[in-house]
Chain A
Amino acid sequence: MTLFLVKRLIMLAATLLVAAVVVFFVLEILPGDPALVMLGVSAQADTLAALRAEMGLDLPAWQRFTNWIGGVVTGELGRSYTYDVPVSELIGERVVVSLPLAVMALTLSTVIAIPLGVIAASRHNRTTDIALTGAAQIGIAISNFWFAILLILLFSVTLRWVPAGGFAGWDAGFWPAIQSLLLPAIALALPQAAILTRVTRSSVLEVLQEDFVRTARAKGLSRRAALWRHAVRNALIPVITILGLQFSFLLAGTIIIENVFYLPGLGRLLFQAIAQRDLIVVKDLVVLLAGTVVVVNFVVDLGYAVLDPRLRSGGGHV
């Protein structure tokens, strides 16, 4: 287990370094001068030079790279060019929107998808199964931003139950904040739930064919007990894999949803930062998101070990 952990940590560091190098050099090539973006079309050459010096853009590339990496390692992420505040502060303000949103969406999709998937599998080829599979197919086909607009039209414009967008802020109280995140979470969760339902269903179906399920039934367990106690537990490994993928996707991939609901989250920050050439924010965010993906994968691996004792000895993968 220790060896496993050490290996994983080395992997994590290596992945982050590669991500850092790639993002730095991609942004080097990308045309667009942050100072020019800030000062616009009337700026004079001397004003631009003054601002570039203030932002440290006049240093050679290698020096900016080492300054930046050194900062990231020591937890000093630098200052945003456009907002002129520490990047860590900016990210901190945005994480409290994106992280709860991702967690809510993930919880919602899990709570919906796993029971439905199991039910569909247990009623294989019967009406319930066909209806659920059909519904899941529709859920996969619907793009989440379009679904989001439908939700807004119904719940915000017509019924006026929740605001059409924006984020009340946690300091406005728990419920107003949750209310602002509810529709976006549903919009994100439903298509994910559809995928997860199908994965759960096929995985459970597969496990139900296994010998140990028949054995369980033979030793006298009811259908229901055999299903929930033995089949589902064994069917969860592919489900956990998908969940891990989905979480990374949710955290980074909320750009569209955050735009539709004009939520001040990480996705929008990244989007804005690219457009405004706030390069330091882009770099830090990319490394942060890469780090999150690696950490989530690590947690998923631990999850396998919990579910399948055979993996705890450090043996093979699934």
Chain B
Amino acid sequence: MKRIFLFLAASLAGLIPLQLQAAGDHLNMGMVLEPPHLDPTAGAAAAIDEVVYANVFEGLTRIDRNGEVKPGLASSWEVSDDGKIYRFTLREGVTFHDGTSMDSSDVIFSIQRAIAEDSVNAQKALFEPIESVAAEGAGTVIVTLKRPTGHFLFNLGWGDAIVVDEESAAGNKVNPTGTGPFAFKRWVKGDRVELQRNDAYWGEPAQLATATFRFIPDPAAAVSAMMAGDVDAFANFPAPESMVQFEADPRFTVFIGSTEGETILSTNNGRPPFDDIRVRQAIAHAIDRKAIIDGAMFGYGTPIGSHFAPHHPAYVDLTNRYPLDLEKAKALLAEAGHAGGFKATLKLPPPSYARRGGEIIASQLQEIGIELEIIPVEWAQWLEQAFRGKDFDLTIVSHTEPMDIGIYARDSYYFDYHSGAFNGLMDKLAAEVDEKARYAVMADAQKRLAEDAVNGFLFQLAKHGVWNAKVKGLWENSPVQANDLTAVSWEK
């Protein structure tokens, strides 16, 4: 054995020097999941946007690091008084990475492609309010809506609404051609995507000359990659349990930010006994959010009492609507005719918030007599059974789309909640363009969901950012699924 080690050491020693990456204008960004392809208009995978959004592709508007709507390829816009006509003025001198220029015809093509019959856009609903789209010369686009839509400009900032070129659109899955500050260089499938600075960019040029996204699914491998310096940053580190280790190391900056992920105990409102509000209230009274956050997420996460992100200005703290109270929970169950409790299933998809959180919830609900059978499922199974087939009692999932409270108004959504009062609020919200009034409606909507105890509202998923202490300008929070590298630089 000793000989073996001598042999190994000798063979390794012969192979130094290492590939030393010139720090200064290159960034290695680690990601857990590899995108299936690189076209954000043809898939729901967050990993697609996390590579190309704002880096390679841009839309008419863009969402900045604070979640605010900023001008993108449209330098300005005017909205008609009835809120139905949007007049976008496009930037001049914008070219795609293949050299063709971007004008109103590209914008119209992109929108029409998304709303077409055979569209495979995962967020087709975003474009549903659009009635027609027309050009006024090369530099102006007019979008007419069926009805006023308050969040329309925000929706145009999603990765699914980026502007593409008709000639290159079909090839965007493997060779994304956008207008952004970085151009696609190559994709070594299974390993990394390389980007390089777009010198013909219309705006402020990026400070990094090149950037590489490396895909590392295994949390232990991610720790080694950071420690060995193979990766400079992980915008969202896969293992919260490792954050303490990074915090203690002066080479790294750790930032616990917020995401748009409301993590909920999804409840099948259409299936007995969960169709009885008293049963759902009993569950709400039996859930100890702090124990779940501490036990499953190592303390990272913000408790929520409704389906709304705590960092949003319209947020209302409803975590005390149904405070932890086991006696009350048991009384409610008894009132609903389940004095002795009942049995149900809990389907858990792979992420650790679900698998670890599920075990804690099962033990918490056991206290009031609800016996949960835990069924671990893969994502594909979860989508097929729970999401599409509504074949579940309870499940845990994080809804990561920004501002997605509207899913509770959908007709046949998987948790089967139907409330005329809530739908009314959503219609009111869509028609309202005044910000203050919108926030008031959002507050009412949050209260409605909390009141009805639709799902077990657990916590807002935290973003565990860790990066080399010399790297500046990364997003601390993720208001949209993106790793915007536009402002990233190395400290000299």
Contact = CB atoms under 8 A, between A and B. Distances in A.
Interface of A: 31-34, 36-44, 46-47, 50-51, 54, 82-85, 90, 93-94, 112, 116, 131-132, 135, 138-139, 149, 152-153, 155-157, 160-169, 172, 175-176, 178-179, 182, 186, 190, 193, 259-265, 268-269, 272, 275-277
Contacts of B70: none
A38 B36 contact: yes
A164 B230 contact: yes
A93 B384 contact: no
A169 B188 contact: yes
Given A163-B230, A259-B217, A41 B224 contact: no
A60 B123 CA distance: 28
Contact of B383 (A41, A54, A83, A162): A41
Interface stretch (B13-21, B256-264, B416-424): B13-21
B18 A162 contact: yes
5 contacts: A34-B380, A40-B45, A160-B18, A165-B225, A262-B218
B120 A42 contact: no
Contacts of A268: 190
- Dominant SS among interface residues on chain A: helix
A156 B228 contact: yes
Nearest to A155: B12
Given A40-B45, A264-B188, A33 B384 contact: yes
Given A37-B383, A44-B125, 10 more contacts: A32-B381, A38-B36, A39-B120, A47-B124, A152-B221, A152-B228, A155-B12, A172-B19, A259-B218, A272-B34
B18 A36 contact: no
B1 A83 contact: no
Contacts of A152: 221, 224, 228
Contacts of B3: 116
B220 A149 contact: yes
A47 B119 contact: yes
Interface in B5-39: 7-8, 11-13, 15-16, 18-19, 34, 36-37
Interface in B344-399: 378-381, 383-385, 387-388, 399
A38 B13 CA distance: 45
A277 B44 contact: no
Nearest to A152: B224
A90 B378 CA distance: 24
A263 B230 CA distance: 14
A166 B36 contact: no
Nearest to B3: A116
Of the candidates B191, B192, B220, the one having the most CB atoms from chain A within 10 angstroms of its own CB is B191
B115 to A, nearest CB: 11
Contacts of B230: 156, 163-166
B97 interface: no
B111 interface: no
Contacts of B280: none
A113 to B, nearest CB: 10
B37 A164 contact: no
Given A165-B221, A186-B8, A40 B191 contact: no
B174 interface: yes
Contact of A31 (B43, B122, B384): B384
B185 interface: no
B196 interface: no
Q: Which of A139, A161, A166, A190 has the most CB of B within 10 A?
A: A166
A63 to B, nearest CB: 22
Contacts of B37: 82-84
